[in-house]
Structure formats: structure tokens, C-alpha cells
Amino acid sequence: MNWKTLTAIEQLHELATSGSVFVVFKHSTRCSVSSMAKRSVEFDFGALPDSFPVYFLDLIAHRDLSNYIADYWHVRHESPQLLVLQGDSCLYHASHQDIELTAVLPFIS
């Protein structure tokens, strides 16, 4: 499984209006805690269905997207952060050491 990269607000808008559940991992390339969380998420990719996308958001390059997420889904910005989103609802979020990709399984089944 590979990351799908988020680079534009239009992508988030399309995902939100699709009605599908999707997962976003927000990552700071300047933070060692974020790097450890990213490795942990990648290690657990095998727990998800092969076709299920996990979106990667580089916070340094695209802080505007993080701000959009915070505003649209009413969830406080944190880094690193794992979110499960559907429509205009944030179904789940975790940050820092609490990030476990397997925690999203109940939301995507």
C-alpha cells in the first residue's frame, strides 16, 4: 500500500462530497515524533484493505490544507495527526503517541 498525497483543497472538497470514509495522516517533515508516527502507520498498512486509500499531508508544504481540515471538520490541528473523515464529520482523530492505524478499522469496515 502506498500513500496518496494531498496537495490541493479541491482534493479535500472532492473527498468530502464523495460520502466515502477516508483517512488522512498529517505529518511534519521537521518533527522526529511525526517521523516515528509515520513509520508506525506505514508498518500497519497491511491491516487495511489493499484498495483503501490513506492520504498523506505534508504540513510544511501544505499548511493551508491543514487549516482547511481544522475549519471544515472542526478538529483542532495537531502534528502528527491521524483522522478518519466522512462528509462533514470527523469520525476519529488521534495525535502523537496515540496514533495507531489499526484504530481506524471500525470506521472503514
Q: Which CATH number is 57's domain given?
A: 3.40.30.10
Kindly state the cell numbers that stand for 82.
Answer: 491521524
Peptide bond into 106 cis (omega under 30): no
Q: What is the largest CA-CA distance in the chain?
A: 34
The 10s digit of each residue's pLDDT in 46-82 is: 999 988 889 999 999 999 999 999 999 999 999 999 9
Residue span of the structural domain in which 9 resides: 3-108
pLDDT average, residue stretch 38-53: 92
For the chain, the domain total comes to 1
- The answer, yes or no, to whether residue 1 has pLDDT greater than 70, is no
